[in-house]
Amino acid sequence: MSQVTTHVLDAALGIPASGIAVALSGPSGELIATGETDADGRIAELGPAALTPGDYRLEFQVGAYFAASGRSTFYPRVTLDFIVTDATAHYHVPLLLSPFAYSTYRGS
């Protein structure tokens, strides 16, 4: 299992957000992995089973998701920076999304 997973929910519609491209980048800005949210809005396998401690970034390409449903958005992409402090811990980084707002939290 990947050390980093994500889940995107379309808070405006109350449904999982499928088909969103996501990129995971590492401490030096290097691309580690890419994926796309499934029908449940999840990416369960995004990168390796273990990462070294440091700063990481998830970038969600949400503009295409909104365009596909005929909705405009203020955010073409959402970038979330987070810190891996424990190389043995799992990091679940959910995104709650709407066309003009978003939020996130450390999931389990």
- What is the per-residue pLDDT across 5-36, written as a single tens digit (0 to 9) for each? 999 999 999 999 999 999 999 999 999 999 99
What are the tokens at 86?
A: 């424990």
What's the pTM?
0.95
Please check whether residue 46 is in contact with residue 33, taking contact to mean a CB–CB distance below 8 angstroms. yes
For residue 45, pLDDT beyond 90: yes
Q: Which domain holds residue 52?
A: 4-104
Give dist(CA 65, CA 55) in Å, integer. Answer: 27
Backbone angles phi, psi at 29, to 5 degrees: 85, 5
In contact, 99 and 11? CB cutoff 8 Å: no
- Closest Cα to residue 84, out of 61, 45, 102, 58? 58
C-beta of residue 2 within 8 angstroms of C-beta of residue 44: yes
How many domains are there within the chain? 1
The CATH number given to whatever domain includes residue 55 is 2.60.40.180
pLDDT digits (tens, 9 = 90+) for 57-96: 999 999 999 999 999 999 999 999 999 999 999 999 999 9
pLDDT of residue 1 exceeding 90, the answer is no
